[in-house]
């Protein structure tokens, strides 16, 4: 695809349809058979969704949210919204209840495209979000009175899109914040296009990807979806996180984008099978696990152990590690499979400048966000007036432009599956309880731990056992309401108050002192 | 069913087989990470011919919980 012709997401969709036409772009499971959506169909269907939105927006710019798993309907809602100049808000499919309403309200959403599994929550969402005028189910739903994607595609004609400007806002993506409340990262068309086009890789139209990461993450969206539109690759949809192993065998991908936890676990399994069936070589087992066509893996989202990279290389599967963040659409650095260096997170992508300020990585590029939506204070904390993004990560760059990450400046807990967990978000769930003096949440050997200091006042009239019981019950109730990755699995109780700063904030580096509860 | 699940668990983690009891907790006692756990459920789905529901597995913590859940799915 001629880079100079691609300035906006609309250009990318139109040019991919022109260049790759009826070639399948997306493959989804439907029972034992597969359903394909071609590049041309994605463009045509997106134009129909734009016609539907135009009828409802009276010429005004609107924000539409989309929530659900990767699929043709999801992407059609996405591109139908942004290619006509409106703003899409992709939401985490694990959100629910008031949290979901809060995200919808804060992003000023007026049209909501939702996965059918959210249908039981619609009444509450309507009450909590009166500004949403239109609801569209991504799947057919005979029990619902709302619009459905398939009816829109049947009933509306394709819109002739007016050009959009590269500087137009295209999306608001929520990211975990250190203050406990997620922030809406504003990305323009040119932010996402810059990140898609800045670096050439080895992809070809013969490549087949298995997309396993959550689609609301920009890492998945840019690297699985936008790069496949650019190169004409086929993206196969992993229908459930439970079925990665089955789907690898079914779709036989040539390229995969993974987080380290998946690569680690898969390697562990290959090794275990080899130990129980030593007559099979590790390479044979790896071929059977991955489908036999895998050329290489791209890894991102969390720290990748260099030993694992070496282990995969021995299997003939190179892993290229990258680094980035939602605020940078996301790639700041990337590697290719031929790069033999170990321990770094790739080289800095074209067009991106990196400098190290007091040990912290700062990045400046056309991919850097416009700021956080309606949150100038948080924007000022992350972006300098002259456009440098302060990443909050510590690291250095070597003479060959390889980037190394040495730590996290922020408090965010980064689990090895790439999930970011804001400790404050979990700590906030302990506020207002009479038995809690203070609580600190942190990761201990990869396990989320809550350490509590019981309120002395509570202990003056209750036994310690009663307080421990309250603690356990409360953590159980929190665990039922948060995504699995955020559940608390280790409890600690301390008898000495936490050390605090002058502004009465708990110092975070003093954890793991309390007694561990079984 | 317990023996079959136990055998599958041993393909994920290197633990003393005696530690795998119905009361054993996947994360705390058997050193599973969350991806090990969901992959195991995917494999049990295939082995036992059932369909696992993402929302229903949130509260499953022990080997016994998983056995009970798979049995329930088989009955339905």
Instruction: Specify whether the CB–CB gap between A432 and A455 falls below 8 A.
Output: no
C-alpha A336/C-alpha A84 separation (Å) is: 34
The residue extents of the domains of chain A are 3-25+34-191, 422-516
CA-to-CA dists, residue A174 to A80, A207, A372, B2, angstroms: 20, 30, 9, 42
Size of the A and B interface in Cβ pairs below 8 Å:
59
What's the longest Cα–Cα distance across chain B? 34
Instruction: Specify whether the CB–CB gap between B56 and B11 falls below 8 A.
Output: no
Which residues of chain A are within 8 Å of residue B59 when distances are taken between CB atoms? 480
Q: What pLDDT, in 10s, does the model give residues A258-303?
A: 888 888 888 888 888 888 788 999 999 999 999 999 999 999 887 7
Tokens of residue A458, six digits: 């509570």
Which chain A residue is nearest to residue B46, measuring alpha carbons?
A246
C-alpha A315/C-alpha A119 separation (Å) is: 45
Least confident of A341-350, A425-434, A462-471: A425-434
Please report the pLDDT score of residue A178 as a whole number: 41
| pLDDT mean over A27-47 | 95
Q: Is A273 on the interface with B (CB under 8 A)?
A: yes
Query: In 3-state terms, what secondary structure has residue A16?
Result: helix
Query: In 3-state terms, what secondary structure has residue A18?
Result: helix
Tokens of residue B10, six digits: 């041993």
Instruction: Specify whether the CB–CB gap between A304 and A344 falls below 8 A.
Output: no
Domain A3-25+34-191 matching CATH 3.40.50.12780: the answer reads yes
Would the CB atoms of A245 and B39 count as touching at under 8 Å? yes
What's the longest Cα–Cα distance across chain A? 74
| pLDDT of A181 over the 90 cut | no
| pLDDT mean over B30-59 | 83
C-alpha A88/C-alpha A78 separation (Å) is: 6
**Same-fold call for A3-25+34-191 versus A422-516:** no
Q: Which domains does chain B have, with CATH numbers?
A: 2-75 (1.10.1200.10)
In this complex, the residue of B28, B36, B43 whose CB is nearest that of residue A489 is: B28
Mutation target to probe the B interface, by most B beta carbons within 10 A, among A242, A484, A487 is: A242
Q: For the packed helices A72-82 and A39-57, what is the interaxial angle rounded to 10 degrees?
A: 60
Least confident of A29-33, A278-282, A314-318, B53-57: B53-57
Mutation target to probe the A interface, by most A beta carbons within 10 A, among B8, B9, B28, B34 is: B34
> CA torsion angle for A183, A188, A189, A194 (degrees, to 10)?
-90
Q: Is A517 on the interface with B (CB under 8 A)?
A: no
ipTM associated with this complex = 0.71
Nearest to A270 by CA among A317, A332, A237: A317
* CATH superfamily for domain A422-516: ANL, C-terminal domain (3.30.300.30)
Query: In 3-state terms, what secondary structure has residue A195?
Result: helix
Which residues of chain A are within 8 Å of residue B43 when distances are taken between CB atoms? 245
Q: How confident is the model at residue A411 (pLDDT cuts 50, 70, 90)?
A: low
Instruction: Specify whether the CB–CB gap between A389 and A378 falls below 8 A.
Output: no
Which residues of chain B are within 8 Å of residue A276 when distances are taken between CB atoms? 11
| pLDDT of A425 over the 60 cut | yes
Q: What pLDDT, in 10s, does the model give residues B5-18?
A: 998 888 777 788 89
Tokens of residue A437, six digits: 């003096």
Q: What pLDDT, in 10s, does the model give residues A208-217?
A: 999 999 999 9
Mean pLDDT across chain B = 86
Please report the pLDDT score of residue A481 as a whole number: 83
Q: DSSP of A280-323, one letter per residue?
A: S-HHHHHHHHHTS---EEEE-SS---HHHHHHHHHTT--EEE-E
Least confident of A316-330, A369-383, A444-458: A444-458
C-alpha A187/C-alpha A232 separation (Å) is: 24
Residue with tokens 């914040």: A177
Mutation target to probe the A interface, by most A beta carbons within 10 A, among B42, B44, B53, B55 is: B42
Q: What percent of chain A has pLDDT over 90?
A: 67
Would the CB atoms of B28 and A273 count as touching at under 8 Å? no
Q: Is A516 on the interface with B (CB under 8 A)?
A: no
| pLDDT mean over A235-257 | 92
A509 CB neighbour count, 10 Å cutoff: 7
Which residues of chain A are within 8 Å of residue B46 when distances are taken between CB atoms? 246
C-alpha A309/C-alpha A297 separation (Å) is: 10
| pLDDT mean over A384-403 | 92
C-alpha A207/C-alpha A365 separation (Å) is: 29
Q: What pLDDT, in 10s, does the model give residues A90-128?
A: 999 888 889 899 999 999 999 999 999 999 999 999 999
Which residues of chain A are within 8 Å of residue B45 when distances are taken between CB atoms? 242-243
| pLDDT mean over A64-74 | 97
Would the CB atoms of B42 and A490 count as touching at under 8 Å? no
Q: How far is A396 from chain B (nearest CA, A)?
A: 30
Q: How confident is the model at residue A159 (pLDDT cuts 50, 70, 90)?
A: very high
Q: What are φ and ψ of residue A393, in 5° steps?
A: -100, 145
Would the CB atoms of B42 and A416 count as touching at under 8 Å? no
Q: How far is B48 from chain A (nearest CA, A)?
A: 14
| pLDDT mean over A358-363 | 90
Nearest to A424 by CA among A153, A248, A177, A114: A177
| pLDDT of B54 over the 80 cut | no
Which residues lie below 8 Å from residue A408, measured CB to CB, with a gap of 6+? A392, A393, A394, A414
Q: How far is B46 from chain A (nearest CA, A)?
A: 9
Q: Residue by residue, what is the 3-state secondary structure of A226-260? A: HHHHHHCCEEEECCCHHHHHHHHHHHCCCEEEECH
Q: How far is A229 from chain B (nearest CA, A)?
A: 29
Q: What pLDDT, in 10s, does the model give residues A459-507?
A: 888 999 999 999 999 999 999 888 777 889 999 999 888 877 554 567 7
Tokens of residue A433, six digits: 């309880």
Q: Is A276 on the interface with B (CB under 8 A)?
A: yes
Which chain B residue is nearest to residue A263, measuring alpha carbons?
B35
The residue length of chain B stands at 76
Would the CB atoms of A242 and B45 count as touching at under 8 Å? yes
Q: What pLDDT, in 10s, does the model give residues A184-210?
A: 999 999 999 999 999 998 899 999 999
| pLDDT mean over A148-162 | 97
Which residues of chain B are within 8 Å of residue A269 when distances are taken between CB atoms? 11-12, 39
C-alpha A8/C-alpha A5 separation (Å) is: 9
Residue scoring higher pLDDT (A323 or A303): A323
């Amino acid at each position: 695809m001629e880079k100079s012709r691609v300035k906006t997401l609309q250009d990318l969709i139109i040019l991919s349809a022109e260049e790759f036409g009826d070639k399948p772009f997306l493959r989804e499971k439907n029972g034992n058979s597969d359903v394909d959506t071609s590049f041309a169909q994605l463009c045509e269907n997106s134009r129909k969704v734009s016609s539907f939105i135009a009828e409802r927006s009276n010429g005004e710019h609107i924000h539409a949210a989309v929530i659900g798993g990767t699929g043709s309907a999801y992407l059609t809602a996405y591109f139908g919204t942004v290619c006509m100049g409106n703003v899409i808000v992709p939401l985490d499919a694990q959100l629910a209840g008031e949290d979901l309403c809060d995200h919808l309200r804060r992003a000023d959403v007026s049209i909501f495209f939702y996965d059918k599994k959210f249908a039981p929550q619609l009444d509450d969402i309507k009450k909590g979000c009166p500004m949403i005028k239109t609801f569209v189910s991504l799947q057919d739903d005979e029990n619902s009175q709302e619009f459905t994607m398939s009816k829109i595609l049947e009933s509306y004609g394709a819109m002739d899109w007016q050009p959009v400007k590269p500087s137009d806002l295209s999306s608001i993506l929520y990211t975990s914040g250190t203050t406990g409340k997620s922030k809406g990262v504003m990305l323009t068309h040119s932010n996402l296009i810059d990140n898609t086009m800045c670096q050439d890789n080895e992809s070809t139209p013969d490549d087949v990807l298995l997309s396993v990461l959550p689609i609301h993450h920009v890492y998945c969206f840019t690297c699985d979806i936008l790069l496949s539109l650019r190169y004409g690759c086929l993206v196969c949809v992993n229908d459930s996180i439970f079925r990665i192993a089955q789907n690898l065998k079914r779709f036989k991908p040539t390229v995969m984008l993974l987080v380290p936890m998946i690569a680690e676990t898969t390697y562990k399994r290959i090794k275990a099978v080899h130990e129980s069936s030593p007559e099979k070589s590790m390479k044979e087992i790896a071929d059977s696990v991955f489908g036999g066509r895998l050329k290489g893996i791209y890894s991102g989202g969390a720290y990748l152990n260099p030993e694992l990279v070496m282990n995969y290389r021995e299997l003939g599967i190179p892993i290229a590690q990258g680094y980035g963040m939602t605020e940078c659409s996301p790639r700041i650095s990337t590697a290719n499979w031929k790069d033999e260096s170990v321990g770094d997170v790739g080289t800095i992508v074209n067009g991106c400048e990196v400098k190290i300020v007091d040990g912290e990585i700062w990045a400046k590029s056309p991919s850097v966000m416009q700021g956080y939506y309606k949150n100038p204070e948080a924007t000022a904390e992350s972006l300098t007036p002259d456009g440098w993004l302060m990443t909050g990560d510590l690291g250095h760059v070597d003479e060959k432009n390889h980037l190394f990450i040495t730590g996290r400046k922020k408090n965010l807990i980064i689990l090895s599956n790439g999930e970011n967990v804001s400790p404050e978000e979990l700590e906030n769930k302990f506020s207002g309880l009479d038995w809690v003096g203070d609580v600190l949440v942190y990761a201990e050997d990869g396990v989320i731990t809550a350490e509590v200091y019981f309120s002395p006042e509570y202990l003056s009239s209750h036994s310690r056992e009663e307080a421990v019981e309250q603690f356990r019950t409360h953590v159980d109730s929190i665990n039922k309401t948060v995504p699995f990755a955020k559940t608390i699995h280790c409890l600690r109780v301390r008898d000495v108050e936490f050390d605090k700063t002058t502004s009465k904030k708990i110092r975070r580096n003093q954890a793991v002192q309390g007694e561990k509860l079984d | 069913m317990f023996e079959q699940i136990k055998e599958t668990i041993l393909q994920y983690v290197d633990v003393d087989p005696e530690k795998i009891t119905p009361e054993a907790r996947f994360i705390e006692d058997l050193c599973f990470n969350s991806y090990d756990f969901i992959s195991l459920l995917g494999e049990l789905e295939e082995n036992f011919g059932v369909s696992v529901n993402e929302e229903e597995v949130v509260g499953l913590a022990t080997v016994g919980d998983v056995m009970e859940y798979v049995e329930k799915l088989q009955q339905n």
